Amino acid sequence: MHGECHLRCLASVVSDHCPLLLDCALMPIARQRFRFEDFWLRLDGFQEMVNTA
């Protein structure tokens, strides 16, 4: 219902309970980092695709 909200668990050193912070401010859209997957090397046609690109 509230996709723009972000719930975070904060640290507490004096209790075994953690306070929750509900932040409903607009969050900037973060770019997802590229991550190379090792299994790509074993896919059929991978090397040809790299050579073509």
Q: What is the pTM of this model?
A: 0.37
Instruction: Indicate the SS3 state at residue 1.
Output: coil
Residue 14 lies in a domain: yes
Residue 51 lies in a domain: no
Query: What does pLDDT average to over the chain?
Result: 84
pLDDT reading at 53 higher than 70: yes
CB 45 within 8 A of CB 53: no
User: What confidence tens digit (pLDDT) does each residue in 1-26 have?
Assistant: 667 788 888 887 788 888 898 888 77
pLDDT number for residue 31? 76
Cα separation of 24 and 26, whole Å? Answer: 6
Number of domains in the chain: 1
Cα–Cα distances in angstroms (integers) from residue 53 to residues 39, 40, 41, 48, in the given order: 19, 15, 15, 9
Residue 36 lies in a domain: no
CB 5 within 8 A of CB 27: no
pLDDT reading at 46 higher than 80: yes
Residue 43 lies in a domain: no
Residue 13 lies in a domain: yes
Residue 24 lies in a domain: yes
Residue 12 lies in a domain: yes
Question: What range defines the domain where residue 15 resides?
Answer: 1-28
**pLDDT over 90, % of the chain:** 30
